[in-house]
Structures are given as structure tokens and as C-alpha cells.
Amino acid sequence: MTDNIQQNNQLDNFIEQYKQLENEIKMLQEDKKALINDLKENHGITPSVLRKAIRVAKIRTDIGDDITQFDHLVDQMEGMIK
């Protein structure tokens, strides 16, 4: 019986921590959205373009030393893939 109570307590703790993390993630997502909207309102930057630029910057950073090859391939493919 003690094991069952202990298991229930562990589950309760897990659920509480999980809910807390979900709430924090939601708050961070709202902060991120506000930050992007601030750029839109104050600098005229289109949010969808900004998100794509961030995505490309992350990809370019991940590629590292092979960036020249990457750029060459992108130049060749540009306009051909939709």
C-alpha cells in the first residue's frame, strides 16, 4: 500500500511540474509573439519574413564550413523549387 501511495505522490509531482512547464512555455511563446509584433509595428518588418530569415540563419550557422557549397547549391536551385 505504501508503494501505491508513493507512486501516486510521484505522479502528482510529475503532473504539477509538467503543468508548470507547459505554462512557462505558453508565456514564452506569448513573449516571442509580442517581440515579433513590436518589430512589425515599429520597424515595418513582416513577421513571416522575419521567421523565415531566422530559420535560414539557423541553417547557415549549422552548416558551418560548408557554407560556400550550400550557397552554390541554393543559387542553382533558386526559382526551380517551389
Quick check: helix, strand or coil at residue 78? coil
pLDDT at position 4 is: 85
Section 3-22 average pLDDT: 93
Question: Length of the chain, please?
Answer: 82
pTM over 0.75: no
Alpha-carbon distance 51 to 68, whole Å?
23
Residue 8 has pLDDT above 80, yes or no: yes
Q: Which is nearest to 54 in space by CA: 22, 32, 25?
A: 32
Q: How far apart are CA 51 and CA 39, in angstroms?
A: 12
User: For residue range 27-76, what is the model confidence (pLDDT) as tens digits?
Assistant: 999 999 999 999 999 999 999 999 999 999 999 999 999 999 999 999 99
